[in-house]
Every structure is written in structure tokens, then in C-alpha cells.
Structure 1
Amino acid sequence: MITIYDWFGYELPIKERYQLIKKAGFDGVLLWWSEHFSRNDYRNGPQIVREAGLFIENIHTPIQYQNNLWLDNQDGEALADCYLQCVVDCAAFEIPTMVVHLPNEDNPYNALGLDRIKRIAEKAEQLGVNVALENLRNITNVSYVLDQVDSLRIGFCYDCCHHHNNNPSDDLLSMYGSRLMALHLHDNGGNYAQHQLPFDGMIDWSTTMKKIAKTNYSGATALEPMNWDYKDLSAEKFLQEAFKRAKRLEALKLYNP
């Protein structure tokens, strides 16, 4: 299976967006789940996705206030409530997994934050939803939570570009591959050093895909590119190229001597 983050750039009507994704060959999408970034109709997205013949692999929870989760105030409680609602939404919309950003390294974990994660884990266990914690510049917090919360519903979202840019010396897939629930695959070239198409940056894809294969991860090969450095390509051409790159990644995952 091959999926892609649904908002890869380009101003497109939402129905056309999913039709183009399907036409390029993708099996499914990753959805942004909030009204931010002009997604005012995000709750209508699942129906439109499925009408286009695609499946929803996961949702990405809001990131604007991610550092609030450890705070002992109303902002911290509000974010915990937001994540709890995302668990409920996943169950209601039959979406198996949600991706979460924990606070960054400037906001170290604490007992209150861990308590909130445990509440989220309990709700996720009740409703059968996976909560995948993504690595960014936050690996101390991610590691702490994964080590402290022994729940089959709390796992890891591996972002290869964030890994290469932020923690290249840590073997994150060996550390947390057994809890892998989601992938964000993109390369680290271009003006932003991230969200490029695979094979356009410096990531060693042969090694990366071999490590992913060794985790026995059974989910989709999921891309998270943006069109920032590909403005000369139409949306259709960009998606076609993205799908070709994803097929190359799948071949590397299968080739595991």
C-alpha cells in the first residue's frame, strides 16, 4: 500500500485533490485534522476521500499548541482535551491512527504531562485507536513517554527526515521500531531541508527502508512531500513523480538481503 499526505501543496478543490491522488496510483491518504491551514471543511474530508476510492491511513492532530501539553494551566488541559477528542473522532470516522507532536526539547516532560498521556492512552484503548508519537526536535520527550507508557495503543510515528536532521546518531528504528504505527517519508534537500520527494536529498534510502522492513511494520509506505521546490510541476505531474518514488521505496523495503 502507498499513501500520501493529502495537502502536498497546490490550490485545488478538495474533490479534485483526491481524484488526482487516486489517479496517480495511491491507495490512501494521511489527513490534517483541524481548521488550521485553511482546512475549514476537515470533518467532511473522510467522506470525500472514500468517495474517491481511497482509504484513510491516519490523521495528523493540531500542532499549533504542541508545547502546551506539559503546562499546569488551562492551555495544557485544553490541548489534552483536543487530543482526547481526536481519539473519539478517529473512532467515529473509522480512522485507525492519529499522529501527535509532543512538546519540543525546550519543554521537558513532567508528571502532569505523563498523566495526560495516560488518560489519552486509556481512551485510545477503550475505542481501539492508535496514537503515534512523531519524532521531531523532541526525542527526549518521545523516548520518555514510550518508555513510561506500556500501552499497545501508544506507539511511534517515524519521520525519516526529522531523524536525519535532528538526531542522526540515534538509531530510532532499532529503539522503537517494535512500536511503529506510522511513517512520514520525505527527503531533506531543497530550500527547507525537508519535505522533498525521496531521492532528492541526502537520506540513505536503502538503509532506511531496510531498517523499516526489519521492524515488521505492516502499514503503508507513506509519503509526506510538499511542492515547495517543484513549482514547475503541475499537481498531476508532482503526484505521478511522488508515486514513482514511493514504488522505488517499496522495492528497497522488499529487497532485504
Structure 2
Amino acid sequence: MEKQYRFGISTTVDLSVDIFTQLDIFARAGFDFISLSARPAHSRFFDSEAFAEVLRRVEELGFFIESAHFPFWEGYDPAAMEEKDRELALKNLAEYMEFAGTHKIPIVIVHPHYYFNDAKEACFERAARSLEKALVFKPENIRMAIENLPTAAGSWICENLLEEFGNDRVGFCYDSSHENMSGKPFHLLSKFYYRLTTTHLSDNHGGSDEHLVPGDGNIDWRKTREYLDKSPLNNILFEVGTGEKLTEPVESFVGRTKRAIRFMFEGAG
């Protein structure tokens, strides 16, 4: 029996558009769920009263929030070189996961590192130590999923973290755009498709993190679909757009994304 899919989109798409307008656009395009971007202010995250309004609108539109993306710039780097910076990142992560858990958002997506200047092995060790600490304070109703990051070093770190932490401890957020910049096509997905917790699907041309509509770059989406069909996932998340203001109307960009999904999945879901 063919898998039945539900399709979601991240609010990262264009952060110049307020979240309530985004939600209406997503609903008109026919999406099933959303994921919150790594910009908490955009989604009213941490403001319980304002966030309650977001939750009400999500429910009115028949959506659910599949995941939330932990911020990933300075102050949020679990693999920062300085211990005080790692401790700050862990403090912020604890607060983020607690808020997500309180509001029944089941998945928190985490970049295991930010930019680093030393060896990938050293960055991996710092990231692994921080993840071990994060698992101690993680709420029971939260699944923490690490995301593969651009460059071969980023892929190497993600691969080794997934091998270090079993599927019962840490999930995997597969970013197709990042993988396409980082080595042989599907070098991560082919190995860890069975570990998928969520996805950040978008396209690019292999050189920069464009987060294009599927089909606008050079990723092999037929092959991607084959791995998704073998994975445990039924909820497929697209992270198109970089958060910057789009060069086309958001309605058009989101609509093109949904049409690309229909073509890619040939009526599934």
C-alpha cells in the first residue's frame, strides 16, 4: 500500500511577512502543517499570550505545528569554542525546549554547531558533549533532531553525531539543500533515511544555500522520493526561502512550492 503523506512548510519562507498572513497563504495553498522558523520573535515564541493567538489561528485553519527550529547564531551554538558560550547555548536550548514542550510542539530542530575555525573533530567533540547535556534536561515529550549543515565538514559532523547517539536518543532533520552543497548526492540520506524525524526540503545548484522551490535547482527529486518512501516519515516538511524578502510575491512562491510537491509525489497524500 502506498504511503499517505502530509506536507508542511516552514515559516522561514519570508520573514518580512507576518506569521498570520503566512498562515493564511499556506492554508490557501493546501498545506497540512507548519514548522516555526529559527526567529522566535516572528512566531511570537516565548510570549505566551501572543503565542496563544498564533496557536488559535493554527487550529482554526486545520494546521498543526510539527516542529520548531532552535536559533543558530551566536549565543545559540552548542559547539562554540568557549565553554561559557556553550553553557549559554545550553541554557537557551533548555528554555526553548521547555516552551515547545509546554505548547505540545513535538520536535525541536537543532544545528549541532555554527561556524568554527578549528578541526572538524574538535567541533564534533564539543557538539557531542553539549548534546549529551541537552538530553538530560530535554522534556520527555520533545524529540530533539539535529540538522546536517553545509560543507563536507558539516556532513561529517552530522554523520558522526548520528552514529554516536542512537535513534532512541537523537533524531535527524535532513536538509536537502545543505547536503547538495557538501559532497556526493545523497551521501547522508542514503545512509540515514531510516533515522528521519523531519526534513528541510528545498533545492539549489550545489554552490550556495538557495532554498529554492523543488525543480528550480539540480537536486534529483525522484531519488529523494525513493528514500522518503523507505523512511518512517509521513509528514514531509519543506523549508523553501531563506527568510529574506523574496523576489516574487509570497503567494506565488508558496503556490509554486505546492505544485512542485504535487508533481514530486504524484498524488500521494
Q: Which TM-score band (shorter chain)?
A: 0.7 to 0.9
* 3-state SS of 1:247 partner: helix
Aligned pair partner of 1:116 in 126, 130, 135: 130
Corresponding residue of 1:16: 21
Letter in 2 for 1:39: H
Shift of 1:158: 0.6
Letter in 2 for 1:182: T
Corresponding residue of 1:224: 239
**How has the CA–CA distance of structure 1 residues 230 and 189 changed in structure 2, closer, same or farther, with 3 Å as cutoff?**
farther
Matched residues in 2 for 1:99 and 1:68: separation?
Answer: 13
Aligned pair partner of 1:61 in 67, 70, 75: 70
* 3-state SS of 2:194 partner: helix
Letter in 2 for 1:56: I
Unaligned runs of 5+ in 1: none
Shift of 1:205: 0.5
**Larger RCO of the pair (alpha carbons < 8 Å, separation 6+):** 2
Corresponding residue of 1:236: 251
Corresponding residue of 2:45: 42
* 3-state SS of 1:16 partner: helix
Identity among equivalent positions (%) equals 22
8 Å Cα contact 1:212-1:253 kept in structure 2: no
Normalising by structure 2, we get a TM-score of 0.81
Letter in 2 for 1:116: S
* 3-state SS of 2:174 partner: strand
Q: Deviations over 1:193-246 (max 9, x none)?
A: 52110001101110111112122323x221111287962x43222222211112
Shift of 1:110: 5.5
8 Å Cα contact 1:221-1:250 kept in structure 2: no
**How has the CA–CA distance of structure 1 residues 46 and 74 changed in structure 2, closer, same or farther, with 3 Å as cutoff?**
farther
**How has the CA–CA distance of structure 1 residues 76 and 11 changed in structure 2, closer, same or farther, with 3 Å as cutoff?**
closer
Matched residues in 2 for 1:24 and 1:142: separation?
Answer: 33
**How has the CA–CA distance of structure 1 residues 69 and 47 changed in structure 2, closer, same or farther, with 3 Å as cutoff?**
farther
Matched residues in 2 for 1:5 and 1:46: separation?
Answer: 15
8 Å Cα contact 1:105-1:140 kept in structure 2: no
Matched residues in 2 for 1:240 and 1:198: separation?
Answer: 12
Q: Deviations over 1:61-84 (max 9, x none)?
A: 001135453534221101012122
Aligned pair partner of 1:26 in 23, 27, 31: 31
Shift of 1:40: 7.3
Root-mean-square deviation (CA), in Å?
A: 2.8
Q: Is it true that 1:210 corresponds to 2:226 in the alignment?
A: yes
8 Å Cα contact 1:190-1:196 kept in structure 2: no
Corresponding residue of 1:100: 110
Matched residues in 2 for 1:158 and 1:87: separation?
Answer: 20
8 Å Cα contact 2:203-2:218 kept in structure 1: yes
Aligned pair partner of 1:180 in 196, 200, 208: 196
**How has the CA–CA distance of structure 1 residues 102 and 248 changed in structure 2, closer, same or farther, with 3 Å as cutoff?**
same
Normalising by structure 1, we get a TM-score of 0.84
8 Å Cα contact 2:11-2:19 kept in structure 1: no
